């Protein structure tokens, strides 16, 4: 009885792997993990559980593909486009709520012209990407970068991140139209999960590191360290995240540059240039390491 319970729990952990991989290898993995020996254990070993989760992340990241570097790059670009649009939509929604809270109801047409059009169009691009309609998304993202600016210069004059989101996403989506035939598109559920994870990372505000109160600063530092550690634990296994996070961090830098922040101030802001530089270096390192492993395997 205990072995049956243990097997069910191991199979639950195997849900971390793609469905196709589970169909081919699940029984083999279960035999390796449990074997033929009788056991009184009812819970998987912690080390094995961790290894299974990271193994599933690596498979999602293309480690078992014929061309893992191609999977890393092309799927990472697609995920980056989704993540930067989702972040832009989230920021835009927050600003939209603030606009109505502070007098927007007295002049809704101005709010509509300044912010709602951009929010709707960015959302439309995101929906098209989630649905796998990349060609439609390519047309919509160009429109999302142009039409709101033609209707109202409010977002571009203020250099707001929600305006930069479709601008940054446009080349990513256009490039993704050239995805090689042997690189599979990102499964929808996985793409949504990765995008949600990157949004959670950005909800951990680094602004608290700049406050005067030492207690609040320590709390903010703890949150940033824990969030960064959790992200790196996942991203070092599924390295597509190292590609996908770069465009989202670029929004902060572009916003600060648009506000004419001095070079010294830009370097002191953890939400702007420093984090972007680190992300780019990690992404390049991931591509180089994957390429070297691919050559060694060949």
For every residue of 4-70, DSSP letters joined together read HHHHHHHHHHGGGS-HHHHHHHHHHHHHHHH-SS-----S--HHHHHHHHHHHHHHHTTTTSSSHHH
Question: Do 93 and 164 fall into the same domain?
Answer: yes
Q: What is residue 262's predicted lDDT score, i.e. its pLDDT?
A: 53
User: Nearest-CA neighbor of 80 among 16, 160, 176?
Assistant: 176
Residue 8 or residue 195, greater confidence? 195
Question: Do 169 and 122 fall into the same domain?
Answer: yes
Average pLDDT, the chain: 85
pLDDT(2) > 90: no
Average pLDDT rounded to a whole number, residues 16-32: 85
Average pLDDT rounded to a whole number, residues 140-150: 94
Average pLDDT rounded to a whole number, residues 239-246: 94
Q: What is residue 73's predicted lDDT score, i.e. its pLDDT?
A: 93
pLDDT(247) > 90: yes
Average pLDDT rounded to a whole number, residues 110-136: 92
- The torsion of the CA quartet 295, 16, 275, 138, rounded to 10 degrees, works out to 80
pLDDT(170) > 90: yes
Average pLDDT rounded to a whole number, residues 158-183: 92
- Token pair of 282 as six digits: 């990690």
Question: Do 205 and 277 fall into the same domain?
Answer: yes
pLDDT(225) > 90: no
Distance CA 172, CA 167 (A): 10
**Confidence band of 191 (pLDDT split at 50, 70, 90):** very high
Residue 160 or residue 172, greater confidence? 172
Question: Do 55 and 72 fall into the same domain?
Answer: no
pLDDT(19) > 90: no
Average pLDDT rounded to a whole number, residues 8-17: 87
Query: Hey, which of 100-104, 149-153, 277-281 has the most confident mean pLDDT?
Result: 149-153
pLDDT(267) > 70: no
Question: Do 228 and 271 fall into the same domain?
Answer: yes
Q: What is residue 133's predicted lDDT score, i.e. its pLDDT?
A: 93
Number of domains in the chain: 2
Please, what's the b/e burial string for 147-186 (b: 16 or more CB within 10 A of its CB; e: otherwise)? ebbeebebbbeeebbbbbbbbbbbebbeebeebeeebeeb
Question: Do 75 and 216 fall into the same domain?
Answer: yes
Question: Do 121 and 39 fall into the same domain?
Answer: no
Residue 277 or residue 186, greater confidence? 186
Question: Do 26 and 78 fall into the same domain?
Answer: no
pLDDT(59) > 70: yes
pLDDT > 90: what percent of the chain? 40
Which domain-ending residue is among 44, 60, 76? 60
Range of the domain at 204: 68-297
Question: Do 53 and 140 fall into the same domain?
Answer: no
Which domain-ending residue is among 42, 60, 78? 60
Question: Do 54 and 73 fall into the same domain?
Answer: no
**Confidence band of 293 (pLDDT split at 50, 70, 90):** confident
Q: What is residue 101's predicted lDDT score, i.e. its pLDDT?
A: 81
Average pLDDT rounded to a whole number, residues 187-215: 79
Average pLDDT rounded to a whole number, residues 197-203: 88
Question: Do 181 and 249 fall into the same domain?
Answer: yes
Average pLDDT rounded to a whole number, residues 2-29: 84
Question: Do 209 and 130 fall into the same domain?
Answer: yes
Asked which of 17-31, 98-112, 187-201, 210-224 is least confident by mean pLDDT, the reply is: 210-224
- The alpha carbon of 97 is separated from its chain's Cα centroid by a whole number of angstroms, namely 24
Which domain-ending residue is among 41, 60, 79? 60
Over residues 60-95, the pLDDT tens digits come to 998 888 899 999 999 999 999 999 999 999 998 988
């Amino acid at each position: 009885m205990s072995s049956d319970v243990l097997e069910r729990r191991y199979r639950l952990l195997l849900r971390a792997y793609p469905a196709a991989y589970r169909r081919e290898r699940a029984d083999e993995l279960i035999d390796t993990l449990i074997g033929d020996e009788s056991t009184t254990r009812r819970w998987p070993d912690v080390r094995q559980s961790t290894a299974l989760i990271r193994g599933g992340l690596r498979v999602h990241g293309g480690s078992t593909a014929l061309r893992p570097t191609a999977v890393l790059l092309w799927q990472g670009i697609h995920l980056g486009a989704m993540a930067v649009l989702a972040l832009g939509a989230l920021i835009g929604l927050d600003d939209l709520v603030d606009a109505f809270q502070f007098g927007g109801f007295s002049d809704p047409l101005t709010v509509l012209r300044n912010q709602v059009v951009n929010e709707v169009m960015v959302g439309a691009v995101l929906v098209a990407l989630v649905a796998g309609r990349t060609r439609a998304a390519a047309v919509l993202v160009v429109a999302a970068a142009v039409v709101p600016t033609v209707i109202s210069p409010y977002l571009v004059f203020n250099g707001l991140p929600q305006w930069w989101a479709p601008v940054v996403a446009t080349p990513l989506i256009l490039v993704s139209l050239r995805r090689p035939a042997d690189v599979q598109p990102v499964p929808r559920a996985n793409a949504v999960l990765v995008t949600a994870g990157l949004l959670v990372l950005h909800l951990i505000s680094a602004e608290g590191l700049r406050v005067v109160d030492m207690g609040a600063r320590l709390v903010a530092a703890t949150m940033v360290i824990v969030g960064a550690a959790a992200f790196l634990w996942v991203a070092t296994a599924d390295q597509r995240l190292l590609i996908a996070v770069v465009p989202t961090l670029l929004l902060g830098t572009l916003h600060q540059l648009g506000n004419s922040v001095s070079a010294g101030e830009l370097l002191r802001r953890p939400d702007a240039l420093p984090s972007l530089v680190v992300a780019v270096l990690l992404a390049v390192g991931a591509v180089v390491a994957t390429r070297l492993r691919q050559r060694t395997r060949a």
